[in-house]
Structure 1
Amino acid sequence: MMRVLVVDDDFMVARIHSAYVERIAGCAVVGVAHSGAEAVALAGRLRPDLVLLDVYLPDTSGLDVLRALRTGAPDDPFVLVITAADDPATVTAALHGGASHYLVKPFDARALREQVERVERIRARLSGLERAGQHDIDTVFGGRRGAATTRLPKGLTEPTAQLVERVLRGQDGDLSASECAELTELSRVSARRYLEHFVAVGAATVRLRYGGTGRPERRYRWAG
Structure 2
Amino acid sequence: MITVLVVDDDFMVAKIHSGYVDRVPGFEVVGVAHSGAEALREVERLRPDLVLLDIYLPDVDGLSVLRSMRTGARPSAEPDVLVISAAHDLDTVRGAVRGGALHYLIKPFSFDALREQLEHFRALHDRLSELPGDAPAAQQDVDRLFGVPPRPVVPPKGLASETAGVVERVLREAAGGGEDLSATECAGLAELSRVSARKYLEHFVDTGRAEVRLRYGGTGRPERRYRWL
Q: Shorter-normalised TM-score: what interval? A: 0.5 to 0.7
Q: TM-score, normalised by structure 2?
A: 0.60
Instruction: Return the offset for 1:122.
Output: 1.1
Separation of aligned partners in 2, 1:25 and 1:87? 32
Q: What does residue 216 of structure 1 align with?
A: none
Per-residue CA distance 1:167-218 (angstroms, 9 max, x = gap):
xxxxxxxxxxxxxxxxxxxxxxxxxxxxxxxxxxxxxxxxxxxxxxxxxxxx
Structure 1 counterpart of 2:78, from 76, 80, 94: 76
Instruction: Return the offset for 1:138.
Output: 1.8
Per-residue CA distance 1:119-138 (angstroms, 9 max, x = gap):
11111111121142222212
Q: What does residue 207 of structure 1 align with?
A: none
Cα pair distance change 1:4/1:38, threshold 3 Å: same
Separation of aligned partners in 2, 1:50 and 1:61? 18
Q: What does residue 117 of structure 1 align with?
A: 119
Separation of aligned partners in 2, 1:69 and 1:136? 27
Larger radius of gyration: 2
Separation of aligned partners in 2, 1:69 and 1:123? 19
Counterpart of 2:127 in 1: which secondary structure?
helix
Q: How many residues align?
A: 146
Counterpart of 1:57 in 2: which secondary structure?
coil
Q: TM-score, normalised by structure 1?
A: 0.62
The one-letter code sitting in structure 2 at the alignment partner of 1:100 is L
Q: What does residue 201 of structure 2 align with?
A: none
Cα pair distance change 1:75/1:134, threshold 3 Å: farther
| RMSD of Structure 2 on Structure 1 (CA) | 1.7
Identity level (%): 60
Q: What does residue 180 of structure 1 align with?
A: none
Counterpart of 2:51 in 1: which secondary structure?
strand
Q: What does residue 196 of structure 2 align with?
A: none
Separation of aligned partners in 2, 1:114 and 1:69? 25
Q: What does residue 13 of structure 2 align with?
A: 13
Separation of aligned partners in 2, 1:60 and 1:67? 11
Separation of aligned partners in 1, 2:32 and 2:93? 23
Structure 2 counterpart of 1:139, from 136, 144, 162: 144
The one-letter code sitting in structure 2 at the alignment partner of 1:135 is Q
Cα pair distance change 1:112/1:146, threshold 3 Å: farther
Q: Which runs of 4+ in 1 moved over 6 A?
A: none
Separation of aligned partners in 2, 1:64 and 1:58? 12
* 5+ residue gaps, structure 2: 152-229
Preserved CA contact (<8 Å) 2:47 2:79 = yes
